[in-house]
């Protein structure tokens, strides 16, 4: 699947976008790389979000190899980055399609030329259903499915779809949830009632069964394996009953699960043999930039659970960093940085100061001392705690790793893709 990025690459960007050099003239996105701006040389303003090209490419290729070796397909969750240029890379690296969180994101994918999209969410609003039908009509080769988890939702979708007169039936995945979880049918019986209703609706086809295991993951492999196994057991029971009752629409049956936390367990547990072809579909999104926090820790569990070469080979690499400047050293143990809640993830934990660079002194960014840590953010400031004797000066650059890429990407309309020397090789546009 090759995407048409031209409208994005040809659109002008200017210094109104955070991260674009103050004084630079407006230019097409595609022309940014040729400027050879360098982050460490101070060619760009701070704070600045950067994606390390080598790490991102490595991660994308790593996931292709892992999925291939596991015999599963991947439709990476696009909501992580909402960056068409990254979608294109993921599709080049063998992704079967893309996953999105809602119809707005579907619209962006459809315009790019993505032709297989999983909306890993309930579609409910009349306007969303109408838009879905409209996009399917506009693109005869567009395949979309979405989640259904209640009779009430199904009734709304059927009603709205009938008014929109779809050219072909809508495709639904039946969502299986778990007690105390988020969406999804809570029992086998409830799920089967719904599956039969979908199959009988005429307007909505049953394309498969889905669950999301990521909300209850702990990092304790034994508990996490048990959680996935229990959830998948219901998915399998529902899928085989639907198969027996001939409720699935013609074509492949889709079984889908998998965030970025325990995708190895999902890849092992989810595949199932039915009377017709089954496509097992992971939806991991965060792997592409990985992180320096929650996913870094969870990935160590993935490796520990996996055989060779995954256990010892090169794993996923953190590709996303936010750089800022020390603006004040008001107390011996405190440095204030020019980045805040507007610039960096803080929903799971604080950013991690990884790199330190002083112009005129360092040839390369230096690793920070382990005891440096950020313990607070304001809207536009971070509090970096250092030992009283630490050598941190006003004007020093600090490169932070983040935890949870989704909530850093959504704070930037423009991220800079950099090489190993922090020279900008491309500018990445997001659409949140």
* Binding to its own copies, residues 378-397 (CB under 8 A): 378-381, 383, 393-395
Name residues contacting its own copies, limited to 57-96 (CB under 8 A). Answer: 79
Q: Is 240 or 383 the residue whose CB approaches its own copies more closely?
A: 383
Contact call for residue 370 and its own copies (CB under 8 A): no
Name residues contacting its own copies, limited to 96-115 (CB under 8 A). Answer: 101-104, 107-108, 111
Structure tokens at 135: 């996009």
CA angle in degrees (0–180, nearest 5) for 373-377-380? 125
Name residues contacting its own copies, limited to 155-174 (CB under 8 A). Answer: 156
- CA 3 – CA 166 distance, rounded (Å): 25
Q: Select from 27, 35, 43, 64 the one that contacts its own copies (CB under 8 A).
A: 43
Name residues contacting its own copies, limited to 409-428 (CB under 8 A). Answer: 410-411, 413
Contact call for residue 179 and its own copies (CB under 8 A): yes
Report helix, strand or coil for 34: helix
Which of the stretches 25-33, 166-174, 299-307, 333-341 binds its own copies when contact is defined by CB under 8 A?
333-341
Contact call for residue 342 and its own copies (CB under 8 A): yes
Q: Of how many residues is the chain composed?
A: 432
Q: Is 150 or 317 the residue whose CB approaches its own copies more closely?
A: 150
Contact 281, 256 (CB under 8 A): yes
Shortest Å distance, C-beta 223 to its own copies: 20
Q: Is 181 or 251 the residue whose CB approaches its own copies more closely?
A: 181
Contact call for residue 302 and its own copies (CB under 8 A): no
Shortest Å distance, C-beta 313 to its own copies: 30
x/- mask, its own copies, residues 214-233, rule CB under 8 A, reads: -x------------------
Which of the stretches 40-48, 198-206, 235-243, 303-311 binds its own copies when contact is defined by CB under 8 A?
40-48
Contact call for residue 5 and its own copies (CB under 8 A): no
Shortest Å distance, C-beta 431 to its own copies: 5
- Cβ-defined contacts of 405-408 (< 8 Å, 24+): 405/80, 405/81, 405/286, 405/288, 405/289, 405/290, 405/291, 405/295, 405/320, 405/345, 406/79, 406/80, 406/285, 406/286, 406/345, 407/345, 407/346, 407/347, 408/49, 408/320, 408/322, 408/343, 408/344, 408/345
Q: Select from 64, 407, 414, 425 the one that contacts its own copies (CB under 8 A).
A: 407
Cα 190–chain centre separation: 30
Which H helix or E strand runs over 172? strand 170-176
- Cβ-defined contacts of 57-60 (< 8 Å, 24+): 57/89, 58/314, 58/316, 58/317, 59/287, 59/288, 59/289, 59/290, 59/316, 59/317, 59/319, 60/89, 60/90, 60/93, 60/288
Shortest Å distance, C-beta 126 to its own copies: 6
Number of residues that bind its own copies (CB under 8 A): 71
Contact call for residue 28 and its own copies (CB under 8 A): no
Contact call for residue 38 and its own copies (CB under 8 A): no
Dihedral of the alpha carbons of 387, 391, 392, 394, in degrees to the nearest 10: 130
Structure tokens at 369: 């001392």
Q: Is 150 or 240 the residue whose CB approaches its own copies more closely?
A: 150
Shortest Å distance, C-beta 307 to its own copies: 32
Contact call for residue 201 and its own copies (CB under 8 A): no
User: In angstroms, what CA-CA distances link 62 with 67, 90, 211?
Assistant: 9, 11, 24
């Amino acid at each position: 699947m090759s995407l048409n990025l031209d409208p994005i690459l040809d659109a002008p960007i200017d210094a109104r976008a955070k991260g674009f050099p103050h004084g630079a003239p407006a230019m097409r996105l595609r022309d940014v790389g040729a400027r050879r701006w360098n982050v460490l040389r101070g060619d760009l303003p701070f704070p600045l979000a950067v994606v390390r090209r080598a790490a991102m490419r490595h991660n994308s290729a790593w996931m292709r190899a892992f999925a291939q070796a596991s015999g599963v397909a991947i439709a990476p969750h696009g909501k992580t980055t909402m960056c068409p240029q990254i979608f294109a890379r993921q599709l080049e690296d063998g992704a079967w399609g893309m996953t999105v969180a809602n119809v707005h994101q579907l619209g962006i994918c459809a315009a790019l030329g993505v032709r297989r999209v999983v909306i890993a969410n309930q579609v409910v609003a009349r306007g969303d259903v109408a838009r879905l039908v409209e996009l399917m009509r506009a693109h005869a080769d567009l395949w979309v499915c979405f989640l259904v988890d209640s009779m009430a939702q199904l009734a709304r979708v059927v009603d709205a779809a009938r008014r929109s007169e779809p050219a072909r039936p809508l495709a639904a995945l039946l969502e299986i949830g778990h007690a105390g979880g988020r969406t999804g049918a809570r029992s086998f019986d409830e799920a089967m009632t719904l599956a039969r209703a979908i199959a009988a609706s005429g307007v909505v086809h049953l394309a498969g069964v889905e669950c999301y295991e990521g909300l209850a993951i702990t990092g304790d492999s034994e508990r996490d394996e048990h959680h996935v196994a229990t959830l998948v057991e219901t998915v399998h029971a529902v899928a085989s009953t639907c198969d027996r009752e001939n409720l699935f629409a013609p074509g492949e049956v889709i079984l889908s699960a998998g965030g970025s936390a325990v995708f190895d367990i999902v890849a092992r547990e989810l595949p199932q043999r039915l009377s017709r072809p089954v496509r097992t579909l992971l939806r991991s999104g965060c792997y592409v930039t990985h992180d320096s926090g929650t996913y870094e820790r969870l990935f160590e569990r993935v490796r520990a659970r996996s055989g060779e070469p995954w256990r010892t080979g090169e794993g996923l690499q953190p590709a996303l960093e936010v750089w800022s400047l020390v603006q004040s050293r008001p107390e011996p143990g405190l440095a204030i940085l020019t980045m805040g809640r507007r610039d960096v993830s803080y929903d799971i934990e604080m950013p991690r100061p990884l790199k330190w660079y002083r112009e005129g002194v360092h040839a390369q960014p230096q690793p920070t001392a382990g005891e440096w840590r950020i313990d607070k953010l304001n809207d536009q400031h971070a509090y970096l705690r250092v030992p009283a004797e630490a050598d941190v000066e006003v004007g020093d650059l600090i490169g932070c790793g983040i935890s949870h890429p989704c909530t850093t990407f959504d704070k930037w309309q423009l991220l800079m893709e950099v090489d190993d020397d922090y020279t900008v090789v491309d500018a990445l546009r997001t659409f949140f």
